[in-house]
Amino acid sequence: MKPLISIIAIWFWAVTVFATPPALVPLPQQMQVQTGTFTLCPAQLILGAPAPAVTKILVDGASRETGEYLAAQLFRSTGYRFQIATNSGVAPVAEAILLTTNSALASLGAEGYELTVATNSVVIRAPASAGVFYGVQSLLQLLPPEIFSPRPVVGVPWTIPCVYIQDAPRFPWRGWMLDSVRHFFNKDEVKQFLDAMALHKLNMFHWHLDDDAGWRIEILKWPLLTQVGAWRTDVNFGLNPRSSTAYGDDGRYGGFYTQADIREIVAYAAQRHITIVPEIEMPGHSSAALRAYPQFGCGCTTCARPPGSLDITNSNPGGVFCAARPETMAFLQDVLTEVIDLFPGPYVHIGGDEVSFYNWQQHSLDQQLMSSLGITSMQQYQGYFTQQIANWIKSRGRTMIGWSEIMNGGLVTNAVVMDWITGSGSAQQAAANQQYAIMTPTSACYINFVENPSMTWSNEPPSQSGTVKLSTAYNFEPVPASLPAAYTNYILGAQGNSWGEFIPSRLNMEFKMFPRLCALAEVNWTSPELKDFTNFTNRLVIHKQRLTQMGVNYNRSMEPPQIAAWAQTQISTSYSVLSWDITSSVTTAGEIDLSFCWKTGAHGLDIAWAALLENGVELDRDTHAGFTGATPVKPAYVLRLPARKPGAIYTLQAFVAGRGGTNSNGIVYRPNWD
């Protein structure tokens, strides 16, 4: 699409009329800022019982659910109850927000919309209900950031700049993947993620529900999958157990979603026009399932993992289903049948990445089947398995998605490729064969990686090795440059991935997601010629205020608050206690996260424990070996304050020693990533 006026003129006009231009994320395809404002409701909230709003919300049949969603959003922050009424007309109505699918531009497609804000009316017009919903998201972003507050805010003028927006997404797949396996997120946390997705007009929620480290979805026919596979003894991955939020009453780590939970989350997502794509890993990454039902593996303990590999209960992809056993396929079909019944969307993801071939190479049944089929490579054998699954899923009216590796043994039909391996060419190969592909390469879309590599431990928590800067995510182009124009429509879009090995909590997850997911949202929505990184970061200044109002954590890319420091004169090569008064930093009860960060000197600092004291009495202690130096090792500590006592003195203590000498100087930060 061509903009109605140039993007430079848009922002110049906006700056002329308003102190700050409309900071929409993602940026609309066309926006014209005009003179004047629309006032949503009275400037001051009347105390007491909620008063009716001046503005009404008018809807047609297709827009009623979105109208109810808008009214609920506005009520939370303004305190006003917005009357919803049916109106099948097409003309603007004074002092009303009209949501309608009548007389819409068909060329905008199912997700496009027009938004017109005049001084006395608002109209959101779209060909379908999804477009109306996205128009509402833009309308909310035109309001002050406080509109996203979960409770009424007083003293805010609820005004909207007069604009005309004509908008539609560039790609149909605008995704984000949540790994609920390595860390289990409860259903309320998942809903919070879905709300953040909706704000950014993301529409595909890829949900990683099983892996070697756990099985997270209830399957009624095979109950041991959750009774056994959903739990492990520790948080694992070298994380501090105290940083995690997913321990059961018995001390085991994990959890799972009941089928009632799944239905509730699916309905919540559907209200926000988000399709959930469940991922059930096969044939590899299946250790959790095989712990519950080992009869579907290779049938021998020595085949469970390659020699010298990690414990299969944690992260090693050694657990592989036996493709030669007929009962294995029957089991997987049982599982997928229940999955399909729970998730009404068109796609089912089966993983297919990082399959360890060691099991199949050592197992006689798999070797016999390969021989009978004339298959000469393990990649082809995986392709044989994957094609069977793809065909079965197709027979159930759905389409299979798999990671890059499903293409290694040749083309798999009835499937979509999700290309995660930077430079693999899997997406191009699929598109050239007129099959759809989704781009999610590690180099730009793995937003669990570190964002700023020079800011570790003081500014960013540990993560998988790798870096994806905000600018890298924003400048990513999903359509490969070498793909012929005739096949570019086979690239469905892009997706940010959040793998959970080093993510022990919702706050930590959000810290890694944002603002990089904001950038990927704009990659997927906005035409490339309209994108500008400087303009984007300028808009993020306001957008981060929205995230704050929503209670969404994000990476502030700045040094977190300093609450203590040590100098070489305080350090001994023998362990001793350092104490700091941190009363001014303890403003509320709850979790107090600490990060010890070495700054200068020839020697690092060994840390045995950290403790919180109230009026000289120890309340909590985190005991684990940490080190801060040129190569830090777990220098983060978690302390808990049950209740803050007014007037009390709070002291931080740490039991430390200089490693190899006393020339060590550093700072204790209170980061925001746990």
- Over residues 536-562, the mean pLDDT reads 93
Which superfamily does 173-281+328-355+373-509 belong to? Glycosidases (3.20.20.80)
Which CA distances in Å does 26 have to 334, 595, 658?
41, 34, 49
Mean pLDDT over the full length of the chain: 91
From the candidates 211, 405, 419, 674, give the one annotated as an active-site residue: 211
Q: Which of 193, 214, 175, 208 is nearest to 265 (CA)?
A: 193
Q: Return all residues near 534 (Cβ < 8 A) that are at least 6 apart.
A: none
pLDDT at 491: 98
From the candidates 354, 529, 559, 618, give the one annotated as an active-site residue: 354
pLDDT at 424: 86
pLDDT at 529: 97
For residues 644 and 48, which has the higher predicted lDDT (pLDDT)? 644
Q: What is the 3-state secondary structure (H, E, C) of 258-288?
A: CHHHHHHHHHHHHHCCCEEEEECCCCCCCHH
Of 243-257, 316-330, 440-454, 641-655, where does the model show the most confidence?
Answer: 641-655
Whether 349 sits among the annotated catalytic residues: the reply is: no
pLDDT at 644: 96
The pairing of strands 159-167 and 204-208 is unpaired
pLDDT at 51: 62
H or E element in which residue 208 lies: strand 204-208
Whether 146 sits among the annotated catalytic residues: the reply is: no
Taking the complete model, does pTM exceed 0.75, yes or no? yes
For 7, other C-beta atoms within 10 Å of its C-beta total 16
| Long-range Cβ contact pairs of 510-513 (< 8 A, separation 24 or more) | 510/196, 510/552, 510/553, 510/554, 511/460, 511/461, 511/553, 511/554, 511/555, 511/672, 511/673, 512/447, 512/448, 512/451, 512/461, 512/463, 512/555, 512/673, 513/176, 513/196, 513/447, 513/554
Is-contact 131 104, C-beta < 8 A? Answer: yes
- Over residues 651-671, the mean pLDDT reads 96
Which superfamily does 7-167 belong to? Chitobiase/beta-hexosaminidase domain 2-like (3.30.379.10)
Q: Return all residues near 584 (Cβ < 8 A) that are at least 6 apart.
A: none
Q: Return all residues near 489 (Cβ < 8 A) that are at least 6 apart.
A: none
Exposed e or buried b per residue across 56-74, where buried means at least 16 C-beta atoms within 10 angstroms of its C-beta: bbbbbebbbbbbebbbebb
**Residue count (the chain):** 674
For residues 343 and 8, which has the higher predicted lDDT (pLDDT)? 343
pLDDT at 153: 94
From CA 656, how far away is CA 164, in angstroms rounded? 61
From the candidates 200, 206, 285, 363, give the one annotated as an active-site residue: 285
Whether the pLDDT of residue 8 is over 70: the answer is: no
pLDDT digits (tens, 9 = 90+) for 381-421: 999 999 999 999 999 999 999 999 999 999 899 999 999 99
Whether the pLDDT of residue 316 is over 60: the answer is: no
pLDDT at 455: 63
Task: Give the pair of three-digit tokens for residue 62.
Answer: 């297709």
Q: What is the 3-state secondary structure (H, E, C) of 639-650?
A: EEECCCCCCCCE
Whether the pLDDT of residue 234 is over 50: the answer is: yes
Dihedral sign (CA 495, 113, 142, 100): negative
Is-contact 73 140, C-beta < 8 A? Answer: yes
From CA 529, how far away is CA 27, in angstroms rounded? 11
Q: Which amino acid is at 671?
A: P
Whether the pLDDT of residue 559 is over 60: the answer is: yes
Q: Which letter does DSSP use for residue 68 in this model?
A: H
pLDDT-wise least confident of 9-23, 70-84, 317-331, 349-363:
9-23
User: CA dihedral in degrees (310, 316, 319, 320; nearest 10)?
Assistant: -130
Whether the pLDDT of residue 337 is over 50: the answer is: yes
From CA 528, how far away is CA 478, in angstroms rounded? 10
Task: Give the pair of three-digit tokens for residue 673.
Answer: 């990533």
Whether the pLDDT of residue 299 is over 80: the answer is: no
Residue 623's pLDDT band (cuts 50, 70, 90): very high
Whether the pLDDT of residue 311 is over 60: the answer is: no
From CA 236, how far away is CA 241, in angstroms rounded? 8
Three-state DSSP class for 583? helix
pLDDT digits (tens, 9 = 90+) for 422-451: 888 899 999 999 999 999 999 999 999 999
Whether the pLDDT of residue 480 is over 80: the answer is: yes
Q: Which amino acid is at 83?
A: Q
pLDDT at 351: 97
Whether 208 sits among the annotated catalytic residues: the reply is: no
pLDDT at 310: 33
Q: Return all residues near 326 (Cβ < 8 A) that are at least 6 apart.
A: none
pLDDT at 672: 84
Whether the pLDDT of residue 43 is over 70: the answer is: no
What is the percentage of the chain residues whose pLDDT exceeds 90? 82
Q: What is the 3-state secondary structure (H, E, C) of 398-462?
A: CEEEEEHHHHCCCCCCCEEEEECCCCCCHHHHHHHCCCCEEECCHHHHECCCECCCCCCCCCCCC
For residues 89 and 133, which has the higher predicted lDDT (pLDDT)? 133
pLDDT at 228: 95
| DSSP codes joined into one string, 586-629 | --SSEEEEEEEEEEESS--EEEEEEEEEETTEEEEEEEEEEEES
For residues 187 and 423, which has the higher predicted lDDT (pLDDT)? 187
From CA 441, how far away is CA 483, in angstroms rounded? 16
Domain ranges for the chain, please list them. Answer: 7-167, 173-281+328-355+373-509, 562-669
pLDDT at 556: 87
pLDDT at 5: 38
What is the percentage of the chain residues whose pLDDT exceeds 70? 92
Task: Give the pair of three-digit tokens for residue 611.
Answer: 């403790």
Task: Give the pair of three-digit tokens for residue 284.
Answer: 């590899």
For 236, other C-beta atoms within 10 Å of its C-beta total 21
Helix, strand, coil in percent for the chain, rounding step 5: 30, 25, 45
Residue 452's pLDDT band (cuts 50, 70, 90): confident
Residue 13's pLDDT band (cuts 50, 70, 90): very low
From CA 405, how far away is CA 408, in angstroms rounded? 5
pLDDT-wise least confident of 195-209, 221-235, 556-570:
556-570
Please identify which residue in the block is written with the tokens 């017009």.
125
Task: Give the pair of three-digit tokens for residue 271.
Answer: 């209200």
| DSSP codes joined into one string, 220-247 | TT-THHHHTTTEESS--TT--GGG---B
Q: Which letter does DSSP use for residue 145 in this model?
A: G
Residue 226's pLDDT band (cuts 50, 70, 90): very high
| DSSP codes joined into one string, 283-334 | SSS-HHHHHH-GGGTTS-GGGSS-TTPPPTTTT-TT----TT-HHHHHHHHH
pLDDT at 405: 95
Whether the pLDDT of residue 309 is over 70: the answer is: no
- Over residues 340-353, the mean pLDDT reads 97
H or E element in which residue 166 lies: strand 159-167
Could you tell me where the beta strands, DSSP code E, fall in 30-158?
30-39, 56-59, 84-86, 96-100, 113-117, 121-125
From CA 187, how far away is CA 261, in angstroms rounded? 7
Is-contact 365 391, C-beta < 8 A? Answer: no
Exposed e or buried b per residue across 157-171, where buried means at least 16 C-beta atoms within 10 angstroms of its C-beta: ebbbbbbbbbbbbbb
Whether the pLDDT of residue 325 is over 80: the answer is: yes
For residues 241 and 109, which has the higher predicted lDDT (pLDDT)? 109
Whether the pLDDT of residue 651 is over 80: the answer is: yes
Residue 302's pLDDT band (cuts 50, 70, 90): very low
